[in-house]
């Protein structure tokens, strides 16, 4: 029980390894991380919860409680119940965004944060796209998937999850995210991994977040959408493990990334001068996006 709420989590990996908490996105479950368990579990004790109202975790607060700040409080409470005084966090989409609040609320708990497919505000364009995700508008394959992973709390619970997602992007205010000045005060090492073809949050979004956070690294994956851990698991795993080795467990050398993309589609040599790449979208050149390491 976490603050009176039944919260499901699974453990994987190395039992006596440094703890790493994996956080899924809205409408997902901890099963999202299936392609990371072996790679991450070889080095870390993995804690993989279902967020409030998702999968096998209760939601006594209803749709109003399904927001980034509340999710962050839930994860902090779970870590307290498990006796974790310090941990690294890795999240996708909502699981990434909630870490911005978590790092503010519990800076001593958050040793390092990895954000994939994240934003720090909802633009009108993003809201419009995400409002289209409802029980009645989802395609048959998507609806069947959401139904399947959300049966633990009842046969119709999947509808509640989608309705909460729709409400978040219809009624949510910027207060659900930390203010920019608060972001500038986050001292936790942060790695931002983002697909350059993310349909929800274009590359200007992670670039803006990177500029606000004082100890951040940014990596843009080419020809990748909103779900880097699933779309590019080999790249994602190697990049994340390198960051964790350097910034969490203190292995300054990190991992060799020269072979992460043998086809040359992504540079991935952070130990030399950062390289840049640009792409063309709809006939318009996009400004070069830098993949770099920064700590100040």
Distance separating alpha carbons of residues 285 and 89, to the nearest angstrom: 34
Q: Which residues of the chain have pLDDT under 70?
A: 124, 126-175, 251-296
What is the predicted pLDDT for the residue at 64? 79
3-state secondary structure of 265: coil
Q: pLDDT tens for residues 101-152?
A: 999 999 999 999 999 999 999 876 765 655 555 555 555 545 554 554 455 5
What domains are defined for the chain? 9-293 (3.40.50.1820)
Tell me, rounded to whole angstroms, the distance of Cα 37 from its chain centroid.
15
What is the predicted pLDDT for the residue at 250? 85
Burial of 249 (0-12, 13-18, 19+ CB in 10 A): middle
DSSP 8-state symbol, 33: G
For the question of whether the overall pTM of this predicted structure is more than 0.85, the answer is: no
> In degrees rounded to 5, what are phi and psi of residue 14?
-90, 110
What is the predicted pLDDT for the residue at 47? 99
What is the predicted pLDDT for the residue at 269? 34
């Amino acid at each position: 029980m976490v603050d009176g709420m039944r919260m499901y989590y699974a453990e994987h990996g190395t039992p006596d390894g440094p703890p790493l908490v994996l956080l899924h996105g809205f409408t997902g479950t901890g099963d999202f991380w299936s392609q990371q368990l072996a790679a991450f579990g070889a080095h870390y004790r993995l804690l993989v919860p279902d967020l409030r109202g998702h999968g096998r975790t209760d939601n006594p607060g209803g749709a109003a409680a399904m927001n980034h700040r509340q999710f962050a409080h839930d994860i902090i409470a779970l870590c307290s119940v498990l006796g974790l005084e310090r941990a690294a966090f890795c999240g996708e989409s909502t699981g990434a965004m909630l870490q911005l609040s978590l790092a503010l609320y519990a800076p001593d708990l958050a040793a390092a944060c990895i954000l994939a497919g994240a934003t720090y505000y909802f633009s009108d364009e993003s809201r419009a796209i995400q409002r289209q995700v409802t029980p009645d508008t989802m395609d048959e394959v998507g609806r069947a998937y959401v139904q399947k992973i959300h049966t633990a709390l009842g046969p119709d619970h999947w509808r509640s999850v989608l309705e909460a997602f729709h409400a978040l992007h219809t009624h949510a205010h910027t207060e659900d995210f930390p203010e920019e000045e608060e972001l500038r005060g986050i001292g936790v090492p942060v790695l931002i991994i983002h697909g350059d073809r993310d349909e929800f949050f274009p590359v200007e979004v992670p670039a803006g977040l990177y500029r606000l956070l004082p100890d951040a690294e940014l990596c843009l994956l080419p020809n990748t959408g909103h779900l880097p851990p699933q779309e590019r698991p080999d790249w994602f795993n190697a990049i994340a493990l390198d960051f964790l080795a350097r910034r969490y467990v203190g292995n300054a050398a990190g991992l060799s990334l020269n072979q992460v993309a043998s086809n040359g589609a992504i540079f991935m040599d952070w130990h030399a001068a950062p390289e840049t790449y640009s792409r063309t979208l709809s006939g318009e050149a996009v400004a070069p996006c830098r993949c770099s390491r920064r700590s100040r």
